[in-house]
Structure 1
């Protein structure tokens, strides 16, 4: 399950070992910003991706073969 506004560590797939956080943007319907970094504070090696909707977010994770261990520290 993809968590929104939580930090996760990628345990498999493209960019394994990096950290990810998904932000839901206030569009109608919502779009999503996918933040990626080398560290859980998102200070080093940062990058981002944008997807138009939840379906695209799910597809993005599937295509990248990401498995994420979420911290649940929202």
Structure 2
């Protein structure tokens, strides 16, 4: 399973199918990774999840049963 940081993806299957996902490396502030999901490609009104380490991301994706098509570089904080 490929998981990309800073690249927006479309969730093709699993929970939130059809939504978009973007992962932010927030080690400097929270010590982990923020996982944002939204029902639109602009990521407006995004919900967020968090994992402590990069190694925990595959389990997070597996639990949600996500298959993701990675699309483009994106930065939710600098639009």
Shorter-normalised TM range: 0.7 to 0.9
TM-score, scaled to structure 1: 0.86
Question: Counterpart of 2:51?
Answer: 51
Q: How many Å separate the matches in 2 of 1:65 and 1:8?
A: 14
Unmatched tracts of structure 2, length 5 or more? 75-79
Query: For 1:33, what is the secondary structure of its paired residue?
Result: strand
Q: CA deviation at 1:47?
A: 0.4
Name the Cα RMSD after superposition: 1.4
> Residues 1-74 of structure 1: matches in 2 within 5 Å?
1-27=2-28, 31-44=32-45, 46-73=46-73
Q: CA deviation at 1:54?
A: 1.5
- The number of residues matched between the two structures is 71
CA deviation map 1:54-73 (0-9, x unaligned):
12111000111100001133
Q: How many Å separate the matches in 2 of 1:33 and 1:23?
A: 5
Q: CA deviation at 1:25?
A: 1.1
Q: Structure 1 residue runs of 4+, over 6 Å off?
A: none
Query: For 1:3, what is the secondary structure of its paired residue?
Result: coil
